[in-house]
Structure 1
Amino acid sequence: MDELSLLPLGTSDFATLRLRNQIYVDKSALIYKIAIRPGKFFLARPRRFGKSLLISTFESLFKFGLRDFKGLAIEKLWKETETYNVVRLDFSEIRPDFGLEKFRDDLRDRLIDNFAPYGFNFDKTGTSIFSQLSSWLKKQAPNSLVILVDEYDAPLTSCLSNLELFEKVRSLLSDFYAILKSNDGALRFVFITGITKFNKTRIFSALNNMSDLSLDVEFGGLLGYTKEEIEKYFSPYLASAARALDLTRSELLEALMRHYDGFCFERSATERVFAPWSLLNFFASPRNGLLDYWFESGGKPSVLMEYLKSHAMRSPEEYGREKTISLSTLSGSSDADTLSDLGLLTQTGYLTIKAVKY
């Protein structure tokens, strides 16, 4: 590391990040542990924690092999020589804001656009997009396709205050995920991200078919930066910021921990990570001080705004006190009308796991 290393601020494409020689906090050993296993995986994290970059990293690995991973831990671990057809879907780009019909058309067009490069041809005069896509998947070679879905729940969270529309959107999405389940043989790997878990989407209806990594102890540090990673990868920025604020390195680290550390995403409550968006913005302009970067950019997600339209919240003082919530509430699927306020605030990043009681 030197002073010229570029911060990865705002870069969510892995290949671009590596091409620009921006700092990459090497998570590839953890990524290897997931990618080596054929299967379907789900990860819930708040906004601005790097879910899109993670999806992009999987895309690069399966599509191009080790092309973009020179010098990273996975380079010595990954032995697969095959590459795969990778379909990447970002559902944050299709929301039912303009009604169900527009959403149905947008979903259809998105599926056509993303599957077409691999030979899928949609017949407008034929059966539904889901039926045609299922028929096409059945013709694919075994173990040949990778599906990556970013922000799977964005269409659902945008209509939390309209239960009728919510149910119709969920039904459409369920048809898509049902196709993936019924054509499992063609799939080498499926990875899905979101903020929260909604039931009846057929993603979580059979847990033996989907590995939920959200509270997994082994992957608590998959997104976000640990204190050790900050000291290793951002040492020049720590030194520069300490000089700018007239602090010692230890004083700066303590201040950073007070403001940006403390997020815990695993069930043992032993590993804590910094919010990467806050930390990177601070390092970019340390003279501005330790501002609330995450809240301004990621702390007002649509899921919370929609929730507030149709659900009552407790007084702010109540949320300032330690609360008890069952791990099953955090790990289980919810419905639009039964979504727990504590569970939602934890999944969106306002609350975090502090300790586990048995």
Structure 2
Amino acid sequence: MARTIAIGLQDFQKIRTKDTFYIDKTGFIREWWETKDDVTLITRPRRFGKTLTMSMAEQFFSIKYTDHGALFDGLDIWQHEEFQKLQGTFPVISLTFANVKERTFPMTKQRIGQIITDLYNKHEFLLDAHFLTDEEEKFFRSVTMDMDETIATMAIHKMSDFLSRYYEKKVIILLDEYDTPMQEAYVNGYWEELTSFMRNMFNATFKTNPYLERALLTGITRVSKESIFSDLKNLKVITTTSSRYASAFGFTEEEVLSALEKYGLADKKDEVKHWYDGFVFGGRSDIYNPWSIINYLDERKPGPYWTNTSGNSLIGELIQGSSRQVKESFEELLTGGTIKTEIDEQIVYNQLDLDENAIWSLLLASGYLRVKNCEITGQEYGEWKQVYELQITNFEVRIMFRKMVQGWFHPASSSYNDFIKALLQDDIKAMNLFMNRVALTTFSFFDSGQKASGHSEPERFYHGFVLGLIVELAENYHITSNRESGFGRYDVLLEPKKSSLDAMIFEFKVQDTEEEKELSDTVIAALNQIDEKQYASALIDKGIPEKHIRKYGFAFKGKEVLIGRK
């Protein structure tokens, strides 16, 4: 009989004692331990079993679980006698920053202080052991949620000292979701303050800690070494492009197919593959998101389970306010294409607004993009670099992105939907009415400029608008933008998938008041450019009659829009 599906269980002991659905990942313990790395940082997208892995590691190594070997009976790790002897033999410090999501630095420091205080409260028995000096007892009692920064940054280091002396054995430190405070600091504007605090804490905990046996950190991103890991030379970083531990997080296709078989869903493997396959870790290209699979087994139908969980707001904000180049690349991804870019897996959060490649790095680390191919270039010049070809991970992620774009137009959703209807009906009057309402509501949302120059055109607005078209009309049209055609480039082209529909060409122009006195003159200039550059040739070459090709000129002046038709 198939085990009960339990949604959201992240405690290894509960899963084992309640005999709920579990895919054996205990092989990770042996693989990690045998590397002999001092400090290991593993990054994986959210909901990929990081917290469960940390719970498993704690309950395997911790002295608190000395008599709990039965938890691992029958699992991979228990097939190795030397690891049976290792179970329950180390003092373990286990912490998580998963819930450190405060709006200010003082609140964040206090929240971390509370987590450390809880750690000390759980070890109050050390005060009764009569081996701490008077100064050490004083330090122990000074650890509170409002402690000063010097005490807070040294507290884990000092607890390592106390535990190693008490048990006469060095400690293992586990820190889950280490980068959650980093993301919140970036979003809420206290990055510099927090990184200084975290750098001091991490150096004391992981660099200058003679009481440390091993340490394991998990997170979504690899925050740059310069930010918080400076001079931490004993740090081994495992990202999504690393081959080590490739199958330790997430489910492999073999594991998914076995689960479907057990739950009587073997005939659904193609559906599951379409929705959820696509994650690539190192050389493994058959990884599935555990959260989606577990929910599919429970609900017995597909849905955007993983992408409906929290954590997408930062991604949406970055793309929404990004440059024309980023939005064009995002258009390519939404239409099923790929992009090529350099990737720096060291995320520098305070550079996300400045370095466009950092956005793709973050999307890759978060699991929304996958590596299709990787090329090494520039070798002949001695300055080699890795260029990644990226694509949207799977159908579930594509749905998330579509909802994200639709959300951009939510303040003007009624007018936007009415504009789409008017466009399909070729109702110019209604198109102008509703397009101006959309622009008035959402123009500043895309942080666009208002002058007719190469650097300040309202590109962010109309490229966001194009993304909206792709999302709303992709079922009936192939939509491309800024592609070569004839003797120039058109802004947007809608090629119908059905012969009963008209093709469309959009040309966008910002009014140049020196050349065009009225906005209507700008419309005429846009329409003339469509003909002069022979943009329709791309459609005519595919057999679409010219009479079934609509040409629209969009003229912009600040938040005012005028649309003309030819």
TM-score bracket, normalised by the shorter chain, equals 0.7 to 0.9
Is residue 2:277 matched to residue 1:261? yes
Q: Is residue 195–residue 348 contact of structure 1 (8 Å, CA) maintained in 2?
A: yes
Deviation, 1:161, is: 3.5
Distance (whole Å) between structure 2 residues aligned to residue 182 and residue 159 of structure 1? 23
Aligned equivalent of 1:354: 372
Residue 246 of structure 1 corresponds to which residue in structure 2?
Answer: none
**Offset, 1:334:** 2.5
Deviation sequence 1:251-284 (CA, Å, 0-9, x none) = x212211110110121x3x432111111111111
Query: 1:120-269 residue pairs with structure 2 within 5 A?
Result: 121-123=140-142, 128-131=151-154, 133-138=156-161, 140-141=164-165, 143-163=169-189, 165-200=190-225, 204-206=229-231, 208-214=233-239, 215-237=241-263, 239=264, 241=265, 249=267, 252-266=268-282, 268=283
TM-score normalized by the length of structure 1: 0.84
- Residues 311, 137 of structure 1: CA spacing in aligned structure 2 closer, same or farther, 3 A cutoff? farther
Please list the CA deviations of residues 162-218 of structure 1 after superposition, one character each: whole Å capped at 9, or x if unmatched: 44x111111111121011134432112211111112225665434641111223313
Tell me, yes or no, if the aligned pair for 1:8 and 1:23 is still in contact at 8 Å: yes
Pairing 1:50-89 to 2, within 5 Å after superposition: 50-63=49-62, 64=65, 66-77=69-80, 78=83, 79-80=85-86, 83-89=89-95
1:94 match: secondary structure: coil
What secondary structure is seen at the aligned counterpart in 1 of 2:42?
strand
The one of 308, 325, 337 equivalent to 2:351 is 337
Offset of residue 348 of structure 1: 1.1
Per the TM alignment, residue 325 of structure 1 is displaced from its structure 2 partner at its CA by: 3.5
AA partner of residue 359 (structure 2): D
1:184 partner SS: coil
* Distance of aligned partners of 1:81 and 1:137 in 2 relative to their CA distance in 1, 3 Å threshold: closer
Residue 306 of structure 2 corresponds to residue 294 of structure 1:
yes
SS at match of 2:72: coil
State how far apart, in whole Å, the 1-side matches of 2:359 and 2:177 are.
20
Compute the displacement of 1:223 (Å).
Answer: 0.9
Query: How far, CA to CA, are the matches of 2:88 and 2:10 in structure 1?
Result: 25
**Contact 2:47–2:291 (Cα < 8 Å) also in 1:** yes
Residue type at the aligned position of 2:375 = K
Determine if contact 1:86/1:146 at 8 Å carries over to the other structure: yes
Rounded to whole Å, the distance in 2 between the matches of 1:10 and 1:177 is 30
Q: Distance in 2 between matches of 1:254 and 1:132?
A: 51
Could you report, residue by residue, the CA deviation over 1:280-318 in whole angstroms, capped at 9, with x for unpaired residues?
1111111xx3111111115x4454356458755524413
CA contact (8 A) 1:8 1:24 kept: no
- Taking only aligned residues, the RMSD between alpha carbons, in angstroms, comes to 2.7
Aligned residues: 337
| Unaligned stretches of 5+ residues in structure 2 | 127-138, 377-566
Match of 1:314 in 2: 327
Give distance in 1, aligned partners of 2:122 and 2:13.
Answer: 20
Query: Could you report, residue by residue, the CA deviation over 1:48-83 in whole angstroms, capped at 9, with x for unpaired residues?
Result: 111111111111111125341110010122142552
Tell me, yes or no, if the aligned pair for 1:94 and 1:107 is still in contact at 8 Å: yes
For the residue of structure 1 that corresponds to 2:174, the secondary structure is strand
Alpha-carbon distance in 1 for matches of 2:317, 2:185 = 7
1:352 is paired with a residue whose SS is: strand
Separation in 1, partners of 2:305, 2:158 = 46
**Structure number with higher strand proportion:** 2
Separation in 2, partners of 1:158, 1:209 = 27
User: Could you list the runs of 5+ residues in structure 1 that have no partner in the other structure?
Assistant: 243-248
Whether the 8 Å CA contact 1:92–1:154 is kept in 2: the answer is: yes
- The DSSP-based 3-state class of the residue aligned with 1:221 is coil
Following superposition, the deviation at residue 151 of structure 1 comes to 1.1
Question: How far did 1:335 drift?
Answer: 3.9
Which structure is larger by alpha-carbon Rg, 1 or 2? 2
Q: Report the Cα distance in structure 2 between the residues aligned to 1:207 and 1:231, rounded to whole angstroms.
A: 41
Task: Please give the alpha-carbon distance, in whole angstroms, between the structure 1 residues aligned to 2:72 and 2:185.
Answer: 39
- 2:527 corresponding residue in structure 1: none
Structure 2 counterpart of 1:198, which letter? V
- 2:170–2:213 Cα contact (<8 Å) kept: yes
Greater RCO, 1 or 2 (C-alpha within 8 Å, sep 6+): 1
TM-score (ref. length: structure 2): 0.55
